[in-house]
Chains A and B, each alone.
Chain A
Amino acid sequence: MRLYEFEAADLFRQEGIPVPDFVVVDSPGEARKAAEKIGFPVVVKAQVLTGGRGLAGGVQTADSPQQTEEIAGQILKSAIKGLPVDKIMVVKKADATREFYLGVTIDGVAGSPIVIMSTAGGVAIEETARTHPETIVSNQVPILSGLSMSEAEKMTRKAGLDDAESSRIAAILHKLYNAFRKYDATIAEINPLVYTAKGDYLALDAKMDIDDSALFRHPELKISAEDRVASPLEKKGRQIGVTYVELDGEVGIISTGAGLGMATMDIVGQRYRPANFLETGGGISEELLYRVMELVLQKKGLKAVFINLLGGINPIHEGAQGIVRFLKEHPPDIPIFARVMGNRQEETRQTLREGGVEVVTDVATEKCMEHLFRRLEKTR
C-alpha cells in the first residue's frame, strides 16, 4: 500500500532523515497561514497516490501569501489522473545545487532487498537509468545482517563521491534502509535528495509502499489498506473478503483463483472488454457467492457474466447455491454463463442449471467462452 508523501516524510523524519519543514492542510486559507509560518518561497504539493503529479500541475511554487492561497485553491479543486486532491502539503522551498536518487526495494528473483543510488537524481531518473546506467550503483543486501555503514559508504564511493559527501550520503542511505526494514516497506525512495546552497542535504520527496500483508504488525501507522481503495465497488469487495478490481468493459468475471481470473480476462478481451476482475480465494461459501453475485451485477453497462469455477480447495457446490439464491431473488436481464470443473462438478452444474445459469461443459475456458461470445453476437 502506497503512503501519502506527507506520511512517508513524517516517517523519514522520525528515522533521522533530513526533510524540509512542511505543513499539511485541506483549505486555501490554511495553506496561506502555513506558508506565512514557514516563510517564502514555498512549494504547494498535491497529496495523491499516483506519480506524475508535477506534470499535471500538482506541484507549484508560491512567493507570497496571496499566491499561496490562489495556487492552493486551484490544486484543491483539481483531479490528478482522475484522483481528487483532498490534501496539500506546503513545504519550504530549497535551493538545490545537486540532486541525488536513493532507493531501497525488493529484488524478487534474488529474494533480497536491493539498495540503489544515483548521482543523477530528479524527475528523469528512469530515463537516466536507461541512457546512463553508469551513474546508477546498486547492491543486494543480505537481509539477516543488514546494510552496514561501511557497505553504504562503499556504494557512495563507487558512485564517485568525495570523502565528505560520501559519508554524509551513506549515513542517509543507511537510515533509509533501516526505515525500509522497520516498516515492512516494499519501496522506500528519496528522489531527489538535494544538496542545498547552505550546505545541507534534504529529502525533497518521500515515497514509501508498505507490504499489505504486514500491516497487522504496524498499528503505529494508523492506516488500513481498505481506506486506500478508491472505487466503492472495490471497497465492497474487500469488505466481503474477495479481490474485486473495477475495469471499464461489459463482461463481468468471477473466478475461483487469481491466475485463472487473469487468463479469463485475457480470453474475454479477444472480442469484448472485462467489466471487472474478481477472484474468490480459497474461502468459498454459500453466503460468499451470494454477495459476489450482488457485487458483480452492481456494475453499470454489463452485457453478460462469466463464472469460472475450479473446485480444488473450494466447496464449489455450496457456492453454486449462493449464486442461485441471488438470481432467484434478483432475476437478471443479462445471460449468466458458468464453467465448472473439479471436485463435485456434476452436482455443482446441476444446481446452477436449475437456477437458470447457462452451464457450459467444454474442458478449456476458451471453448466455454465461445458460447458467451455467440450469445452476445446474436443480441447485438
Chain B
Amino acid sequence: MSILLNGETRVLVQGITGRVGQAQTKWMLEYGTNIVAGVTPGKGGEEVEGVPVYNSVAQAVAERGAEASVFFVPPAAVRDAALETIDAGVSLIVVVTEHVPVHDAMEIKARAAKRGTLLLGPTSPGIITPGEAKMGIMPGNMFQPGRIGVISRSGTLAYEICVDLAAAGLGQSTAVGMGADPAPFTSLSELLRLFDADPGTDLVITVGEVGGTQEENAARFITDHMKKTVVAYVAGHSVPEGKRMGHTGAIVQGEMGTTRSKISAFQKAGVDVAMYPVDVVKLVSKKLG
C-alpha cells in the first residue's frame, strides 16, 4: 500500500520535450511509472520515449485519461500551467521546478483548494512508491519497498535518510517531497494525515530543516490527531541567523525558523527527534522494536 501514487496511476509529464523532461521521463518509465501522455504547448503530435505529446492538458486528460501530472516547466510558466492542469481535473500535481515566485505558488494553492487538487512543491524532488512508480527526480536505487512513510522538504536529505534505512533493511511505503519553498502547496500536517490513514504505513519520518513553521504546526497536529508513531529529523542546527542556505525557505530570522523551536515543539508532542541523519535509523529501529 501507499499514498497518492501507485503502479496504476495514469501519469502526465508537463514540459516533457525539454532536456530535463526527456531525461526524467526515461528514468520514470524504466522505474515502472505508468506514463500515459506528455504536454508541451506547440509540440502536440510528437513522441518522447514512446509517450504521445499533446498541446493541452485537457486533450491529454480526454484522450489518455491522465490523472496525475509532474512538472518540468520553467518557473515563469508554472502558474499558468498549474491553473490549466487544476481546471482540467487532474487530482495530483508534482511541481519539481525551482524558483517559482511565491505569490504564484499562493495563487495556485488557492485555486487548487477550490477544486480539491493535491499539489506537491514547488522545488519538490517528487514522490516515489518504491517498487511501483515515481513522479519526479528521486533516484530509484536509493529507495526500497517497505512500511515506513517519509515526508521530506529536501530531496537530497530524503535520499540520505532512505539509503541509511535501506542499509538497515527498512523500506518505504511512499516517500514524498513536500518542497523547500517558504509556502509549500501542501503542508506537513496534511501529508501526515494521509500517512496516518494508510494501512500500508506503520511509522512516519519527517525530514525537516531550518526555516518556516511547518514543523511547529505539524507538532500540534500530531498531538491532536495522529495515531501512528512519528520520528523527526531537523537539519541545520549550525546555520547562522539571516543566511539563506540554498532553499528559499531555509532561513532563520530571530527565533522564527530555528531548529531549537522545531525540536522543542516535536518533543512536547512526544516525537523523538534526531540531531543527525544516522540517528534517524536508530530511533526508527527502537520504535519498531
Listed in ascending order, the chain A residues whose CB lies under 8 Å from chain B are 50, 106-109, 111-113, 126, 142-144, 181, 184, 186, 211-214, 216-217, 243, 245, 247, 255-263, 265-270, 274, 277, 279, 281-282, 310-313, 341-343, 363-367
Contact = CB atoms under 8 A, between A and B. Distances in A.
B: interface residue count bin: 35 or more
Contacts of B183: 106-108, 111-112
Contacts of A313: 20, 24, 137, 139
Contact of A262 (B104, B125, B152, B239): B239
B164 A262 contact: no
B235 A263 contact: yes
Contacts of B103: 143, 181, 184, 211, 214
Contact of A109 (B105, B107, B214): B214
Interface string B55-85: 0000000000000000000011000000000
Contacts of A260: 154, 156-157, 159-160
A262 B245 contact: yes
Given A111-B184, A312-B155, A142 B110 contact: yes
A259 B235 contact: yes
Interface in B122-165: 125, 137-139, 141-142, 152-160, 163-164
Contacts of A217: 76, 101
Interface in B178-220: 180, 182-185, 187, 189, 207, 209-210, 212-214, 217
Given A186-B182, A258-B156, A213 B243 contact: no
B247 to A, nearest CB: 5
B1 interface: no
Nearest to A268: B238
Nearest to B137: A313
A146 to B, nearest CB: 11
A144 B111 CA distance: 8
A260 B233 CA distance: 12
A144 B110 contact: yes
Contact of A363 (B167, B209, B237, B243): B167
A109 B139 contact: no
Contact of B137 (A279, A282, A367): A282
A184 B278 contact: no
A313 B123 CA distance: 13
B171 interface: no
Contact of A211 (B102, B236, B245, B275): B102
Contacts of A266: 235-238, 275-276
A281 to B, nearest CB: 7
Contacts of A257: 154-157, 246
A256 B239 contact: no
Contact of A108 (B100, B184, B239): B184
A285 B99 CA distance: 20
Nearest to B257: A108
A262 B246 CA distance: 9
Contacts of A277: 239, 243, 245-246
A258 B247 contact: yes
Given A143-B110, A213-B75, A310-B156, A262 B100 contact: no
Given A108-B184, A213-B100, A259-B247, A366 B236 contact: no
B102 A186 contact: yes
Given A184-B103, A363-B164, A262 B209 contact: yes
Contact of A269 (B156, B238, B250): B238
A341 B243 contact: no
Nearest to B158: A259
Contacts of A216: 76
B50 interface: no
B169 interface: no
Interface of B: 20, 24, 75-76, 98-107, 109-111, 125, 137-139, 141-142, 152-160, 163-164, 167, 180, 182-185, 187, 189, 207, 209-210, 212-214, 217, 235-240, 242-250, 254, 275-278
Contacts of B237: 266, 269
Contacts of A126: 254
Contact of B250 (A106, A186, A262): A262
B142 A109 contact: no
B147 to A, nearest CB: 21
A315 B91 CA distance: 32
B247 A108 contact: no
Contact of A342 (B125, B139, B185, B249): B139
B180 A342 contact: no
B137 A312 contact: yes
8 contacts: A106-B102, A106-B182, A214-B104, A245-B244, A260-B157, A267-B276, A281-B246, A342-B139
B245 A312 contact: no
Contacts of A142: 110
A213 B277 contact: no
Contact of A112 (B98, B110, B137): B110
B156 A256 contact: yes
B248 A259 contact: no
Given A245-B245, A266-B235, A363-B167, A312 B139 contact: yes
Contacts of B250: 258, 262
A257 B231 CA distance: 22
Given A341-B163, A363-B164, A262 B210 contact: yes
Task: List 4 tightest A-B contacts by C-beta distance, closest first.
Answer: A259-B154, A257-B156, A258-B246, A259-B157
A108 B153 contact: no
Given A50-B242, A111-B183, A184-B102, 17 more contacts: A109-B189, A111-B185, A142-B110, A181-B103, A213-B99, A258-B247, A259-B153, A259-B155, A259-B156, A259-B157, A260-B160, A261-B245, A263-B236, A270-B276, A274-B238, A342-B142, A365-B277
A279 B185 CA distance: 24
B234 to A, nearest CB: 10
B141 A342 contact: yes
Given A108-B212, A343-B139, A259 B152 contact: yes
A279 B160 contact: no
